[in-house]
Structure 1
Amino acid sequence: MALEKTGANPEMKSPGLLRRVSSRFIGGFEYLFYQHGYTVCRHPYLYIVSVLAITVACGIGLLNFHQENRPFKLWIPQDSDFVKTYDWMQDNYPREFRFENAIVTAENVLEPAVIQEMLRVHQRVSAVPGAGPAWSDVCARLPSLAAPEDEVYEAEDEVPDPSLVSEDSQTDSAVAEARRRRRRRQASQRPEFDVSGYDDFDPSVSLPTSLHCMLVEGMERPCWEASLLELWRFNERRIANLTREQVLTAVNTAAYSPVFGYRFNVSRYLGGVQRNSTGHVVSAGAAFFAWAVRRDPDAENVIVSDTGTGEPVCLFQVDENTLLFENHFLSVLSSAPSLHGVTWYYSAGKSFGEISNSTIFGDVKYLVLGYVVMFIYIQLMLGRCNMVEHRTYLSIIGVASVGLAVVISFGLCSALGVFFGPVHNILPLLLLGLGVDDMFVVLQCWETLPAADRHRPLPERVGRALQHAGVSITVTSLTDFVAFGIGASTVLPSLQSFCIYAAVGIMAVYFIQATWFVAWFTLDQRRIEARRDGLVPCYTHRNWAPNTCSQRNYFQNFFSRVYAPAVLSVPGKVIVLVVTCALLAVNSWGLSELRQEFNPLWFLPTDSYLSMYHRSVERFFPNEGHEGVVFLSGLHLADNLPQMALLSQKLRAEPSIEHVDSWYDEFQFYINYNEYGELPERFADGYEFLPLLGQFMFSPRGGKYQSFIQFNGTLTCGEPAPPITASMITFTHRLMDGPRQQIPAMVRVKELVNSVNFTGEAPLVQPLAEAYASWETDQVIEYELYRNMGLAMVCVFVMVLLLIANLTVCLLVLTCVLVTLVDVGGLMHFWGLTIDTVSCIDVVLAIGLCVDYAAHVGHTFLTERGDRRQRAADTLRDIGPAVFNGGFSTFIAFVFLATSTSHVFVTFFKVFFGVTVYGLFHGLVLLPVLLSLVGPEPYLPARTDMELVSGEEKRAARQEGDAVREEDGTRPAQTDISDVKYAPAVADAHITAMA
């Protein structure tokens, strides 16, 4: 009946239930946007001031701005085993040392000239700086078990310095002689447990307790500096006279450090080692250095967080000096001359945090450059090339509106306590792309107003333009908001924080573009219609006529006359479908090969000194595994000795572990060998445990384990050890090939540790390794990515279906989004990216942008009249330029990131390159082809003044308007904007008709 009344073509479809429900919803939406645009146009200054006031109010929240760079707080689920154990360690087992590391490389670091260069750097680091403490003031000190006369003498049988030899003590001589015999024998054998020392002399067993403790108290405590220079005791005169043969002899025969008396493992100090046929070292490409700086974990007062490691560095007493020394250390190493082909790579305790902080704002130049180029492009696209109609100031306002959105987003999120992370610095670029996209849609709807509407009062014209643009930008903004809202539910803190910032920012952009930008556009349009100059608005061109060239829309003509006929022709459709299938096939394979892997070190710029240091470690020390510890607390160890033995046994049996260092294993042999008892069985008297443990802690073999055990009191030589509150066992994972091996290894270690049944009131037995931070992220990141994508796609589908209100078009839009995501995933693999937190964030962003490109086209298609092909062609003509401008402007905003050294920016560039290229291809090429083939038939609601006219009427009206314009060269006169009778009546009629 409705079709008969309207005289419609019987092939036209009547609106179904979904369409009728949505029509009522969208009709109300269009009415609201018309009224909104009408009101903004009448009161532009009110909206401008209101938006500024809201921005300032939100900006107050920046006073609570919190920047987070600690990897453990950014990339790891906060309910994970790693975070719980790490927090426990920080509270109960704080680290005592910070290490400053360096690697020296040369063609052969065992040349005497290179050794001498190492000494010069050592001396510069040890020298008293102009400001700050000397190395001796901040160094960690270790007791030396090496007697002075135990120095390794050179081939010329140099006589030792008599001042270093005690002539008053026969005990000293006995100790020295026993040590010499022991070391000569141990130099030729290295069993897993070096027990030969017990045969000759152990002062903790052989000497009276008082004499042993006297020896311990009299031990020299040199600074803990680990390097090859230990072999010559950092002696300048001796090193200056070294020959190559002497260097090789020392390196190949060293079993113990002449400085500390502990075993000296040369392989841990040399990289790129070359050996001869007998297995002796003949050359090396790198040597490792380490300086240990002591920290006071009990220091009070103000604490500054080292944002790279999360370790507290106290600005009090020695810890303030620690930071000053690290500045001195970095200054020395950065200025070390490259003599004899020597190159230094270095890392300080503060390096990661310092570089991470600088990286966040270090690439601001790329943001600024992107904004500048974006502004130029907007200027070219928004205005016309004549003195009146160019929109220079409106372009500035458009870019500034994104700045307001950034302030609102950052201010609100900071006020709510949401932290700002290293990935968040891409937000301005993201919001710029989305904001410019909305701006182009608004301007495109203004430009495509029918000629009949161009002579209406300005408020009506602005309302009419916003009526059509409002629904379109609402679809894309809400879908983006939903996508990021889903992302905010993730367990990854950095992704969660970013999604909250982005969701707030997207809604802020939407709000500002619909108010602030429309208000400024109104003022700019008033200026144009009053013929005031574009650069000097106070000057009016009285006899101005626009040049003919500036009145032609070449871009829209290209889409209408060239692009649409080519793509929608039969050969064009075939080519599009074949290319789409080929890209999908190739990228589907690439997506299947995409692996997950995350490393916080990727956040370092590739040209930073810390990144180069880690690359040198990978190159010269590739066999260094991942160190870890097993913490034990809440146990009565005397009752859990069999469990301690079982834990060590299981750790050594684990294939992924190559080395275990357990204080209990050494203690067990110490007790059994010296016939103090039989472990791991219980002592006959439980109280024997602590006295014997105290004796062991001051033995040559047990001294190194003092830092492995935390006592409830002071450990004193000659007295029983205080009760144990916590202890640890260290282990080293073998090098493994990526998460496929690392994650199962981590899981097995956790399982075997939990399988040992320790007893106690509240036993804690938990493994921890710094590598587990990345491995636990790898364990969940892939699941989180696909979970977020799946939920986002479901929510986006519902939103698009509600707002577009056509199941066929909605499915086609979602198809384009899915195909784009698959192609982007394949491109990530081919471009060397992995699934990590940054790429996970970028893919969530990609969902929003992909929907933007396709939803604009799908929504416009439903408003056109004619057959499928004609409607697809009209869609490309009417919305194609805006979609392309939005995508291309986003592309040119981030294209300069290709030269960045930041992992965040480089990943963002690579992913968004794929998003814009594939997204525009599927939105402006594939989707029109699909719509022309299987798109729905047009609906025919009752005709009203608010209804979009057909494509033929549009073209006729546009040609009529262009002819009038070219004939008299005038613009529509400024109309009295007080006439408001049109809006309510027509909008109500439209709603009634759509219902």
Structure 2
Amino acid sequence: MDQICHWLAHRPLGVLLIVFLIILPILSYFLFHPLRIESDVRRGFAQRNGRSTHELKSFADFYNISYEGLDIWVILIKSKKGSNETDLTINSNLLNEVERLDQFIMNFSITADNTVLRVSDLEGSKLNYLFDWFKYTHELSMFFGDIDLSHPIGKAMGHEFFTGSHFFGVNDHFKENQTGPIETAKFMTLWYMSSAVTFDEKKKLELLQMELFKLSIADNFSDILSFQMYGDQVANAEMLRGTMFTVKLFVVGVVMMIVFMLYSFKHLEFKSQIIQTIAAVASPTIATATCFGILGWTGTPFNSIMCITPFLVMGIGVDDAFLLLHSWRRHSTVDNQKKRIRAVLLEIGPSMAITSVTNTLAFGIGMTSPTPQMSAFCLCTAIAVLLDLIFEFAIFVPIMVLTYRERVEKLPLRPSFSFFSWTKYVHVLLSKTGKVIAVTLTLLLYLSATIGVSQLVPSFDPSKTFPKDSELLVALRNFEIIQQEYAPINFVSRHMPDLRNETEVSEFFQMISRLENRDFCYGSNRTQLLLRDYINTMNSTNLTYEGIPKFLSDRMIADKKIIQFHRENNSVVMDGINYIVICKGSLDWNIRAGRIDQTRHIIDEYPQFNTTLFDYDSTIYDLIITVKYELFKAVLLTFVCMAIACGFMIPSLGAASIATVSMLSISYSLLGWLSIWGQDMDPVTMINVLMAIGFSVDFSAHVCYHYHIHRHQDIKMDKKEQIEQILKSVGRPMIEASLSTLICMLPLFFVPVYIIESFARTVCLVATFGLFHGIVIIPVVLSWLGSSRSPGDPNSQDILLTASP
């Protein structure tokens, strides 16, 4: 400590030089590498090593596509915008136009950086073969009377085929004939599977999808139809658009906070006022930049959620700057710079350390989040918060020592409002009426929070990751209409039953029957299972798989990879089969998640077939299923760590206990009010609560630590005088820090992205509830648990247990 104070007091320029010599090589990362922000609404929020990840990998492997590169997207076709038609009329003209659209998309290309990019170059597998077959047979239906193009099962040339994957809202105007020949449809769809593994390939696919997305908005492709599209790469681009908007508003927030700090520092000379303000902002900014540099050099990818980190670190850093400046001013009577710094560090250093260490611990525990993007965000913020603590002492304090100059005519320490003083405030607060009001407000806070917590529902959906003003939401809402009618669950069975073994065949179809005959499924007539068709077609008592190649060729689907096999010793050996059970959808993500969980339990009872399901949204279902457990586990672990940290850093059992309970109180209030504010229980909420636990320590630790200090330094004061001295020490910095944080976060409410809004709400609520606890609840509690000593009664006993004298 003595050496640190010596360097800060007598060699501040040397300290600054050493710091910048250390961090410049780290910051040089941005000179040699472009800043690549990776966004993945699908895998970025997938549960790490979760079951859905294994299922996606299994499905991708089946089609010989990398799990990282699998991308399924959809074109949704509807009646022409501006026309009087609400439904599509299914005729040759429309089918020809849809076929033209399909061919246009498959051959679509753009030029970027002198390179021609084509959709076909990234094609993974053809998925529109049923539409192709429908169109082909529709042309023949004029010549052959035995062709039946009904919904949902059509018949042509002796084969049945499913039409429900491309036509939706069929014959809605014929209520009695919705399953007959297809005459009209509300929507049609075209499905595409692409493979984009590397970052460059994903950017290519993003550029292609974005151009198609723009074409869909322009709506000038056809005179008889309009189309919309939904794809993960478009969602990623929209998420990145929200990120860029957030960065712009961050600048606005910083400017607003600077204006507030200039006003707060009005007791300084103008030059000093400017420099102190810049230094207060520079320390957290440099800490964040250094953190990004470290992540870059270590190969950790940047994601769009990390754009929130500068806001959080700025709030913590400016809070520390207010505390340091306020303490430096209060010790202005100390002539020796070294002693003055020592006094400041002893007074403020421990509470700064508590807040930074506990925040680092909270975000460190958040790194265990099951979602990669949230985990990476917590890693980034934990490092940045720790660096900010170091830079507050290594950058801000040296600059403060060098440039702090007060005006000749000093302004009073207390706020300039003549009607306010901490003495009056404490007198009112600790009066009988004041305590009744404080208790009443606290009970109302807990009551409202309890109501909010009781209404929390586990949920999450991709729309929470991109802006609410996105045109993609329009397509997503229409796609949800389709999902209510058509919710396919794909299955891949790697071990197919031996057709000569009746037991195996019986068990396999028993599994299929259980899957397709549930309340929310349509039954066997809509299940797409080629093995059943093969058995019915062959109609043989001594059946083998030798007829599979011809069976697939006759249906012109030999290249579709639905059934995979290889030849071994001139015999057909089966490698696996993909089949689809068609279910009714639901807009309630909890219901959908429960159905997927139920489906997994069924296939788990038949391990001999090595079956995995595939639902493209299963990564989100996993989050919904596990979020309660993950939230409870993370909060419990964080709370225990925070309690231990407070116990170590506040050497008073009573004060540490109050700080810990206060932290729990703030977090519980936050969770309830987030629910009232319209937030669900999801991974974002989990990280918010962890962040709240870390941030809430800021307020309780400052008050409780100073209470411990004042109790031993001011032993002749009664409890009211001690609380008054505490609030004179930390009250104003806490208010200024809370206001500056609120001002900095205010612009984030104009970012129409759920995740960003959620973090802004969290920080603002924590700042509000934390301030309420710091200057209202904790002082009242301390007045009850504090010293029973009366003025002039040194023999009274202390009922607040302390760990050390």
TM-score (norm. length: structure 1)? 0.69
Q: Does 1:694 align with 2:549?
A: yes
Counterparts of 1:471-482 in structure 2, within 5 Å, are: 471-482=350-361
Cα offset, 1:586, TM superposition: 2.1
2:519 maps to which residue?
655
Tell me, yes or no, if the aligned pair for 1:869 and 1:932 is still in contact at 8 Å. yes
1:445 maps to which residue?
327
Partner of 2:765, secondary structure, is: helix
Partner of 2:582, secondary structure, is: strand
Q: Does 1:54 align with 2:19?
A: no
Partner of 1:621, secondary structure, is: helix
Counterparts of 1:736-755 in structure 2, within 5 Å, are: 736=586, 738=588, 740-755=590-605
CA separation in 1, counterparts of 2:724 and 2:38?
A: 50
1:361 maps to which residue?
244
Deviations 1:759-805 (A, max 9, x none): xxxx6322221222111111222211121111111111111122111
From 94, 99, 102, the equivalent of 2:76 is 102
Tell me, yes or no, if the aligned pair for 2:368 and 2:375 is still in contact at 8 Å. yes
Partner of 1:591, secondary structure, is: helix
Tell me, yes or no, if the aligned pair for 1:370 and 1:896 is still in contact at 8 Å. yes
CA separation in 1, counterparts of 2:724 and 2:379?
A: 39
Deviations 1:711-766 (A, max 9, x none): 3379xxxx9985322212212343347465344422321121121252xxxx6322
C-alpha spacing 1:383/1:363, structure 2 compared with 1 (3 Å): same
Counterparts of 1:606-685 in structure 2, within 5 Å, are: 606-618=468-480, 620-621=481-482, 623-635=484-496, 637-638=498-499, 640-658=504-522, 660-672=527-539, 677-678=540-541, 683=542
2:9 maps to which residue?
41
2:58 maps to which residue?
88
CA separation in 1, counterparts of 2:557 and 2:90?
A: 36
Cα offset, 1:35, TM superposition: 4.9
| Segment drifting more, 504-513 vs 124-133 | 124-133
Cα offset, 1:378, TM superposition: 1.6
What one-letter code is carried by the residue in structure 1 that aligns with 2:324? V
Tell me, yes or no, if the aligned pair for 2:39 and 2:239 is still in contact at 8 Å. yes
| Segment drifting more, 91-100 vs 859-868 | 91-100
Tell me, yes or no, if the aligned pair for 2:515 and 2:599 is still in contact at 8 Å. yes
Counterparts of 1:764-779 in structure 2, within 5 Å, are: 764-779=610-625
Deviations 1:637-679 (A, max 9, x none): 545433332221121233343353212221222122xxxx13x
Tell me, yes or no, if the aligned pair for 1:121 and 1:333 is still in contact at 8 Å. no
CA separation in 1, counterparts of 2:492 and 2:102?
A: 35
From 751, 762, 772, the equivalent of 1:911 is 762
C-alpha spacing 1:704/1:900, structure 2 compared with 1 (3 Å): farther
Partner of 1:181, secondary structure, is: coil
Q: Does 1:846 align with 2:692?
A: yes
1:730 maps to which residue?
580
Q: Does 1:790 align with 2:636?
A: yes
What one-letter code is carried by the residue in structure 2 that aligns with 1:89? F
Deviations 1:52-72 (A, max 9, x none): 122223335667877543345
CA separation in 2, counterparts of 1:348 and 1:705?
A: 25
| Segment drifting more, 744-753 vs 915-924 | 744-753
From 651, 660, 681, the equivalent of 1:835 is 681
What one-letter code is carried by the residue in structure 2 that aligns with 1:695? K
Counterparts of 1:871-886 in structure 2, within 5 Å, are: 871-886=722-737
Cα offset, 1:605, TM superposition: 1.1
2:801 maps to which residue?
none
Cα offset, 1:511, TM superposition: 0.2
C-alpha spacing 1:433/1:282, structure 2 compared with 1 (3 Å): farther
Cα offset, 1:492, TM superposition: 3.5
Tell me, yes or no, if the aligned pair for 1:564 and 1:873 is still in contact at 8 Å. yes
Deviations 1:174-228 (A, max 9, x none): xx54xx2243xx75xx7x977x76xxx549xxxxxxxxxxxxxxxxxxxxxxxxx
Q: Which gives a bigger RCO, structure 1 or 2 (Cα 8 Å, sep 6+)?
A: 1
Tell me, yes or no, if the aligned pair for 2:239 and 2:466 is still in contact at 8 Å. yes
Partner of 1:727, secondary structure, is: strand
Tell me, yes or no, if the aligned pair for 1:477 and 1:510 is still in contact at 8 Å. yes
Partner of 1:456, secondary structure, is: coil
Counterparts of 1:287-326 in structure 2, within 5 Å, are: 287-292=186-191, 304-305=198-199, 326=209
CA separation in 2, counterparts of 1:873 and 1:262?
A: 81
Q: How many residues align?
A: 762
What one-letter code is carried by the residue in structure 2 that aligns with 1:55? I
CA separation in 1, counterparts of 2:192 and 2:742?
A: 48
What one-letter code is carried by the residue in structure 2 that aligns with 1:668? I
Partner of 2:547, secondary structure, is: helix
Counterparts of 1:556-567 in structure 2, within 5 Å, are: 558-567=420-429
CA separation in 2, counterparts of 1:446 and 1:729?
A: 72
Tell me, yes or no, if the aligned pair for 2:490 and 2:578 is still in contact at 8 Å. yes
CA separation in 2, counterparts of 1:148 and 1:802?
A: 77
CA separation in 1, counterparts of 2:135 and 2:672?
A: 64
Tell me, yes or no, if the aligned pair for 2:90 and 2:184 is still in contact at 8 Å. no
CA separation in 1, counterparts of 2:121 and 2:288?
A: 47
1:433 maps to which residue?
315
What one-letter code is carried by the residue in structure 1 that aligns with 2:24? V
Tell me, yes or no, if the aligned pair for 2:257 and 2:743 is still in contact at 8 Å. yes
CA separation in 2, counterparts of 1:754 and 1:881?
A: 61
CA separation in 2, counterparts of 1:142 and 1:277?
A: 29
C-alpha spacing 1:500/1:129, structure 2 compared with 1 (3 Å): closer
| Segment drifting more, 657-666 vs 592-601 | 657-666
CA separation in 2, counterparts of 1:644 and 1:363?
A: 52
Cα offset, 1:328, TM superposition: 4.6
CA separation in 1, counterparts of 2:721 and 2:411?
A: 28
What one-letter code is carried by the residue in structure 1 that aligns with 2:27? G
Cα offset, 1:826, TM superposition: 1.1
Deviations 1:312-367 (A, max 9, x none): 66x9xxxx7x7775455234222226999997543346312322333333321121
Tell me, yes or no, if the aligned pair for 1:712 and 1:723 is still in contact at 8 Å. yes
CA separation in 1, counterparts of 2:589 and 2:211?
A: 38
What one-letter code is carried by the residue in structure 2 that aligns with 1:554? S
Cα offset, 1:467, TM superposition: 2.1
What one-letter code is carried by the residue in structure 2 that aligns with 1:372? V
Q: Does 1:493 align with 2:375?
A: no
Q: Does 1:756 align with 2:603?
A: no
What one-letter code is carried by the residue in structure 2 that aligns with 1:651? L
Cα offset, 1:464, TM superposition: 1.8
CA separation in 2, counterparts of 1:711 and 1:491?
A: 36
Deviations 1:6-32 (A, max 9, x none): xxxxxxxxxxxxxxxxxxxxxxxxxx2
1:810 maps to which residue?
656
Cα offset, 1:120, TM superposition: 8.2
Deviations 1:817-859 (A, max 9, x none): 2221121111111111012112211111111111101110111
Q: Percent identity?
A: 18
| Segment drifting more, 580-589 vs 123-132 | 123-132
2:669 maps to which residue?
823
C-alpha spacing 1:496/1:148, structure 2 compared with 1 (3 Å): closer
C-alpha spacing 1:552/1:286, structure 2 compared with 1 (3 Å): farther
1:422 maps to which residue?
304
From 32, 40, 54, the equivalent of 1:70 is 40
| Segment drifting more, 333-342 vs 512-521 | 333-342
CA separation in 2, counterparts of 1:711 and 1:476?
A: 61
1:346 maps to which residue?
229
Mark the structure with the bigger radius of gyration. 1
2:562 maps to which residue?
708
Partner of 1:833, secondary structure, is: coil
Cα offset, 1:519, TM superposition: 0.4
TM-score (norm. length: structure 2)? 0.84
Cα offset, 1:578, TM superposition: 0.7
Tell me, yes or no, if the aligned pair for 1:359 and 1:902 is still in contact at 8 Å. yes
What one-letter code is carried by the residue in structure 1 that aligns with 2:680? T
Tell me, yes or no, if the aligned pair for 1:37 and 1:467 is still in contact at 8 Å. no
C-alpha spacing 1:266/1:510, structure 2 compared with 1 (3 Å): closer
From 785, 796, 799, the equivalent of 2:645 is 799
